[in-house]
Amino acid sequence: KTIYVLNGPNLNLLGKRQPEIYGHDTLDDVERLCQSVAHDGFAIRQLQSNHEGQIVDWIHEAREDGCGIVINAGAYTHTSVAILDALNTFDGPVIEVHISQVHKRESFRHHSYISMRADGVIAGLGLEGYAAAVRRICQLTQG
């Protein structure tokens, strides 16, 4: 079983970008963490793009061979009906992750299109949010 871990714009710079908000760990650290918590029999496919359509395409790919999706859509969280529509074509569990506590930040970060589809939403736990999301998808799709 494959869990897709999708990351949106600017998250390629994780560890370098505004470390006071997002910390010093990188996307490679996220991938290692996700792999370390995934239950036996689960593979992690972590992907990152700065382009909305690429994320849509990967969600379509997950329809074919993904058992669940962990998604940090970055700023597209707050703008993208296209990513919401794509997630609505996916049958398995979707967990939305934000490294920062978006509700404590600017008001434009308080609304999420992804949340209209997500089965779980995690914000403000740093990288631990990805780990919790992967564990949850394992639990929900085990067996």
Q: Which residues are catalytic?
A: 22, 98
Query: CB of 56: closest distance to ligand DQA in angstroms?
Result: 17
Task: Annotate the chain with DSSP letters as a single string.
Answer: -EEEEEE-TTGGGTTTS-HHHH-S--HHHHHHHHHHHSPTT-EEEEEE-S-HHHHHHHHHHHHHHEEEEEEE-GGGGGT-HHHHHHHTT--S-EEEEESS-GGGS-GGGS--SGGGT-SEEEESSTTHHHHHHHHHHHHHH--
Shortest distance (Å) from residue 142 CB to ligand DQA: 27
Residue 36 marked ligand-binding: no
Within 50-79, which residues bind ligand DQA (CB under 6 A)? 72, 74-75, 77
Binding site for ligand DQA (CB under 6 A): 10, 72, 74-75, 77, 98-100, 102, 109
Binding-site positions: 72, 78, 85, 99-100, 109
Which residues make up each annotated binding site for substrate?
72, 78, 85, 99-100, 109
